[in-house]
Amino acid sequence: MHPILLPTPEIADALATRRPVVALESTVISHGMPYPQNLETARALEAEVRAAGALPATIAVMDGRIRIGLDDEALERLATAGASARKLSRRDLPVAIATGALGATTVAATMIGARLAGISVFATGGIGGVHRGAEISFDISADLDELARTSVCVVCAGAKSILDLPKTLEVLETRGVPVLGFGTDEFPAFYSRRSGLPVDHRCDNVTEVADILRAKWQLGLEGGVLLANPIPAADELDADAMEAAVNQALADAEANNIKGKDITPHLLAALERITGGRSLTANIALIRNNARVAAGVAAALATP
C-alpha cells in the first residue's frame, strides 16, 4: 500500500484478499448536497454497495493522508465541514496532503486515490466535462484527462447536465476513452435517460463490462472506461424543463461572476432551488443506482 494512503482495516483486508471494492467520491458529501442530506446519502451509498456484494471505499484527504474508506466519524466530519472542505482535483492533491488540509475528492482525485489503492471500479453521479461556452472560456474539467490516463472504470449517469454533452463526448473520443452504455444505446443526460447522442457500445450485463475492462488493460491500453448508467425511469425529470432550469442557473452564475471550480456546486444549488428540490431527489436516486451497478461490475471483475 502506498505510504500516503490510509485504508480502513476492512478495506485493506478486502484489497489484500482480492474481494470486490467500489470507490466513492467525497465532493458529493461536502459540496454536492446540504447537511444532513449529504451524510444520509453517503451512508445510503455505502449501504447500496454492501447490499450488492462489494465493499464501499469513500475517498477523501484528511490529516495529510488519502483516506481509502471512511468510518462514521470521518463521514460526519466531512459532512459537517461542507464547502469549507477543499474541493480537490489532481492539481490540488499535493497541497492538501502537504498542508494537512481537509479535502473532498472530485472524480479526478478519486480516480487517482482508487488507482493507487488498487481499486478498479468507482461510482459517482456525473462526470465533469466540457462546459458550455468552453470555446471562449476554455473551461474543461480535469476529469476528462484523468479518464484518459488513469485505469479505473467510472460508473456514472453521464456528464452533468450543465455541460456541453456533444463536446464532452468528442473530447473523450479524442482521448481514447471507451464510453459504454449500461442497458442503453444513448448517452444519458444525468437527470434524463436520453440525450440523442450514441455511446460507443451497449452492455446489458456486468459480466460483459468486466470482460471489456480486462481486455483493455491486458492490452496495455492505460486509462479509464466510462460506464454510462441512465437514471431509473421512475426518477427521471423532464428534459425540456431541466434545460430551462439549467439555462436559468447558468445566467445566474454569469450575473454573479461565478467561475472555475466554484461553478458546479453553485449550479447544483441553483437547480435545487429552481426545481423545488426535485433535482436533489433525482441526484440521490441516480447515484444510488450507480453504486449498485458499480458493485456488480466490481464483483464480476473479481471473479476469475
CATH code of the domain covering residue 112? 3.40.1790.10
Instruction: Answer whether residue 259 shows pLDDT above 80.
Output: no
71 alpha-carbon distance from chain centroid: 20
Number of domains forming the structure of the chain: 1
First-last CA distance in the chain? 23
3-class secondary structure for 194-238? CCCCECCEEECCHHHHHHHHHHHHHCCCCCCEEEECCCCHHHCCC
pLDDT exceeds 80 at position 260: no
Give the mean model confidence (pLDDT) for residues 126-150: 94
Where helices occur in 31-150 by DSSP H, the ranges are: 37-51, 72-81, 93-99, 107-117, 134-137, 142-149
pLDDT (tens digit per residue) in 152-208: 999 999 998 889 999 999 999 999 999 999 999 999 999 999 999 999 999 999 999
pLDDT at residue 251, rounded to an integer: 87
Whole-angstrom Cα distance, residue 115 to residue 130? Answer: 24
Task: Using alpha carbons, select from 199, 223, 198, 202 the residue that is nearest to residue 213.
Answer: 223
Indicate the pLDDT class of residue 122, thresholds 50, 70 and 90.
Answer: very high
**Residues in binding site for Mn(2+):** 139
Choose the catalytic residue: 46, 48, 160, 216.
Answer: 160
Q: Which of 159-168, 232-241, 290-299 has the highest mean pLDDT?
A: 290-299
Whole-angstrom Cα Rg for the chain: 18
Q: How far apart are CA 55 and CA 183, in angstroms?
A: 24
Residue 264 has pLDDT above 80, yes or no: no
Clarify whether 167 is annotated catalytic.
no
Residues contributing to the annotated binding site for substrate = 87, 107, 141-143
pLDDT (0 to 100) of residue 210: 98
Mean pLDDT of 67-90: 96
Clarify whether 160 is annotated catalytic: yes
Task: Report which of 285, 273, 286 is spatially closest to residue 246, judged by C-alpha positions.
Answer: 273
The three-class DSSP label of residue 68 is: strand
Q: How far apart are CA 55 and CA 66, in angstroms?
A: 18
Q: Which domain holds residue 209?
A: 5-302
Burial (CB < 10 A; 0-12, 13-18, 19+), residue 243, is: middle
**Residue positions in the annotated binding site?**
87, 107, 139, 141-143
pTM: 0.94
The catalytic residue among 25, 46, 146, 186 is 25
